[in-house]
Chain A
Amino acid sequence: MRTSGTARILARLLVGLRVVAVIIALAVLVQVLRGEPLALDRLFSSPPSIGSVITTSATDQEQSGPLGRRELRFKLQELVAHDTMLAIRFMRSTIADDPAFVDAANAVLVRSADDVELALARALPAEDASAFADGWAEYTQGLFAYATALRDDDDAAREQAREQLTASAAEQATLLSEITDGSIEEDVAATSLEMRGDLLLYQLDAYAGEDYDQAYELAHEAYGHSAAFAATLAAGATGHDPHAVDVSAKEELRAELARVLGEHVELSTDTLRAGVTGSDDFSAAAGALDGNTRELSDIMASALGGKRARKPIKLWSEHVDQLLRYAIAVADQDAATRRELRDGLRATSERIGRQLEKATDHEINAIAVTEALRSQQLLQLDQIDAYARGDYASAHDTASTAHHRAAGLAKTLASGFMTIVRTRMPQGGADTGGGGTASTP
């Protein structure tokens, strides 16, 4: 009986091993078919470090309780800023007459409006959040109408679309004031929404006129504006006067890092795509990415001091360079270089983690930074692979996930940086008087 039982267990084990072998073979086959270098670690790593098709962050999906002003601000900043970049790509691909890309961009924009609704519903009644998201989605369709008119060189339709967008922004402003019980003044909301719309339209005009530097500069402004709009929206949705919110230095630093790191993902995405397609806007995209690195460098230097920030920033530039060279290897169909760069990027993310740990006197954990950055890198590689094979839906989804991951990295860095900021600060007031000539009670 005992022997027979053992034999049964062994037989099951053998079956199990065969199953595992079949799974590995199939997974390898899938990677080969997808034109990716073989990387078994991708098959067995834990989900958070792998490019997934989930568009919202896992933590957000797990948590659906009410959000306070500060956390809602970060969540909305993440979503609205990304939505702005999606809208920009959506409009640009419309004038480029690339229906497959437009279709995929539209799908991800619809989900983006859903995500904004879900976030707002954590502070506002569900019907109010839904009404806002409906208006938001309607506005996006107005942007599409404008882009279509521009593509077709139809001035009358373009003017009509512009008027429609102005009316839509005004309606949205009225709604915002109503659903926040006046915390957000209608005038303030209208001005902010009009500015967003203008920036989106002007960047498209510049892009259509092949003034790519201007188009990317205006897109950068639109991205920054969306972060500010998110802060206003979060304050209003949680019953605060947006002008009277007492924002701590730590919150401001985290918001800044989230903005810059999120834009890094967006600009990397644009630059890599422009690189593999050889688009005329490559230099402008790459220049904007350089500007983003400078911003990150300035934030780090401001928080840590120039000397401490130097090495992490140098490594950050190396990581950007490796991403770009990976895109070139994709275009060249050079599997060996791609494999080499995947390894190189892993090593660079580890070095960045170690340098940041050192620069912050171990306030930042090297492994946490490495994991966060590595996850972002893998998603970025996955998105360019998907884009290069024309799988725009996966490319959009993966790029979206990469953007949302940047928010987590920003939180980690802000916390560590602030500790160093505090230790570097002078203590107490200044002794800047000598004799009492200026003395007053």
Chain B
Amino acid sequence: MSRVGGRTVHLVAALLLLALGGCAPVTDVADRAHGSLVRYFDDYARDRSPVADEVPDSVRDFRPQTKPSSTPRPTRIEIPSIEVASDLDLLDLADDGAIEPPPQWETAGWYRRGARPGQRGPAVILGHVDSTTGPAVFFRLDELDKGDEIHVVREDGSTARFTVRRSERYRKARFPTGEVYSPTPHPTLRLVTCTGEFDQEAGSYRDNLVVFADLIQ
């Protein structure tokens, strides 16, 4: 009986420590839990609670915000260094899962399922490099250099300003979907057009040119 009693005392003590210490494994926290036991009663004796006598109204009345930040839709793109100025059409996904090309040669388009320019993530704007008869809106996109500015005007009249970081040419068959469309920690912009050799048989270019840009304002 005395053996059982001894074990009981140890067990009770261990579990009491466990409860006080927050139920972490006894072996890990035994020493610290013992410390917290002593500290716990010391603290009561000191009565040093920092709690205010009266909670201010500013605290009681505060309600956390529930609305996400909103960014206006883009309406226009301007690239001064290559003399581009175009309204923006809205683009969606085509039935085959590819992004729709802009319906007009001279008007660029914003991919509506992606980020809005100035919003966190990659905003994507497409434009044709040429039409069936001559140059189109993004004909000179390959002339953009690092540091050139791209301005996107939004429906509230505000402008998101981007600066070119780099340009890359990709085979359409090996288009880096993840690199272009994956989330980014900051607002970014990708301009996409065609480039390279025109495949007469297929009636399309073999490559895409992608300009990567970052928000500066």
Contacts and interface: CB of A to CB of B under 8 A. Distances in A.
B195 A23 contact: no
Given A252-B184, A320-B64, A430-B194, A298 B23 contact: no
A52 B130 contact: no
B158 interface: no
Contact of B182 (A255, A328, A421): A421
Interface in A357-399: 382, 387-391, 393-394, 398
Contacts of B60: 328
Contacts of A320: 64
A387 to B, nearest CB: 7
A126 interface: no
B2 interface: no
B50 A429 contact: no
A432 B192 contact: yes
Interface in A3-36: 15, 19, 22-23, 26-27, 30-31, 33-34
A430 B192 contact: yes
Contacts of A331: 51-52, 55
A390 B49 contact: yes
Nearest to A310: B68
Given A256-B185, A390-B46, A439-B198, A430 B101 contact: yes
Interface in B4-59: 4, 8, 11-12, 15-16, 19-25, 28-29, 32-33, 36, 39-40, 43-44, 46-52, 54-56, 58-59
Interface stretch (B82-90, B118-126, B146-154): B118-126
Contacts, number: 271
A277 interface: yes
Interface string B130-143: 11111110110000
Contacts of B40: 34, 391
A278 B129 contact: no
A50 B19 CA distance: 10
B48 A293 contact: no
Contacts of A252: 183-185
Contact of B98 (A34, A61, A431, A441): A431
B177 A433 contact: no
Interface string B92-133: 010011110110010000010101000111000011111111
Contacts of B48: 100, 390
Contact of B200 (A27, A100, A256, A436): A436
Contacts of B120: 298-299, 301-302
B69 interface: yes
B28 to A, nearest CB: 6
11 contacts: A27-B19, A256-B183, A282-B58, A282-B62, A294-B69, A301-B68, A317-B66, A331-B52, A421-B183, A427-B96, A438-B129
The 3 closest A-B pairs by CB, nearest first: A249-B182, A433-B194, A278-B52
Interface of A: 15, 19, 22-23, 26-27, 30-31, 33-34, 42-43, 45, 47, 50-54, 61, 98, 100, 249, 252-253, 255-256, 274-278, 282-283, 286, 289-290, 293-294, 297-299, 301-303, 305-306, 309-310, 313-314, 317-318, 320-321, 324, 328, 330-332, 382, 387-391, 393-394, 398, 417, 421-422, 424-441
Interface of B: 4, 8, 11-12, 15-16, 19-25, 28-29, 32-33, 36, 39-40, 43-44, 46-52, 54-56, 58-60, 62-66, 68-69, 93, 96-99, 101-102, 105, 111, 113, 115, 119-121, 126-136, 138-139, 170-173, 175, 177-179, 181-185, 192-198, 200, 204-205, 207-208
Given A289-B64, A293-B65, A434-B128, 10 more contacts: A34-B40, A252-B185, A277-B52, A282-B56, A302-B120, A303-B121, A328-B55, A328-B59, A390-B48, A432-B192
